[in-house]
């Protein structure tokens, strides 16, 4: 048995589970303004122009009259920090329109 390979697989599995826990159970959802305080390169203007390249959610709901409402976008801080740490941030692409 290759103990180094087994060790690497165990470390990878534990790291993945810890990362998933952190990004789900401990996630911090921030407004664009708050995100720009944590990650200075993501200014409010950059997020207005290119925020769709990052993971984000926009809460929506219908009121009692059936009218749909929404808030501003919320950004997952830990997921974005992980993208920066592992280099995925370098792979951001503009969304194709049309």
Residue 48 lies in a domain: yes
Residue 97 lies in a domain: no
What is the reported pLDDT for 45?
93
Residue 20 lies in a domain: yes
What is the reported pLDDT for 75?
97
CA torsion through residues 63, 66, 32, 22, sign: positive
What is the reported pLDDT for 10?
85
What would the pLDDT profile of 19-77 be if each residue is shown by its tens digit?
777 666 789 999 999 999 999 999 999 999 999 999 999 999 999 999 999 999 999 99
Residue 96 lies in a domain: no
- Count of domains observed in the chain: 1
List of E strands, 1-98 = 29-30, 60-62, 68-70, 75-76
Q: Are 22 and 81 in contact (CB under 8 A)?
A: no
Q: Residue 96 above 90 pLDDT?
A: no
Sorting pLDDT into bands at 50, 70 and 90, what band is 14? confident
Range of the domain at 33: 3-91
Residue 98 lies in a domain: no
């Amino acid at each position: 048995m290759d103990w180094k390979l087994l060790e690497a697989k165990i470390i990878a599995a534990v790291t993945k589970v810890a990362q998933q826990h952190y990004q789900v159970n401990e996630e911090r959802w921030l407004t664009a303004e708050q995100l720009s305080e944590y990650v200075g390169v993501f200014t409010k203007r950059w997020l207005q122009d290119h925020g769709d390249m990052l993971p984000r959610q926009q809460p929506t709901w219908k009121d009692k009259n059936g009218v749909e409402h929404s808030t501003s976008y919320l950004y997952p801080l830990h997921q974005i920090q992980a993208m920066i740490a592992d280099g995925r941030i370098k792979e951001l692409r503009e969304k194709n329109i049309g």
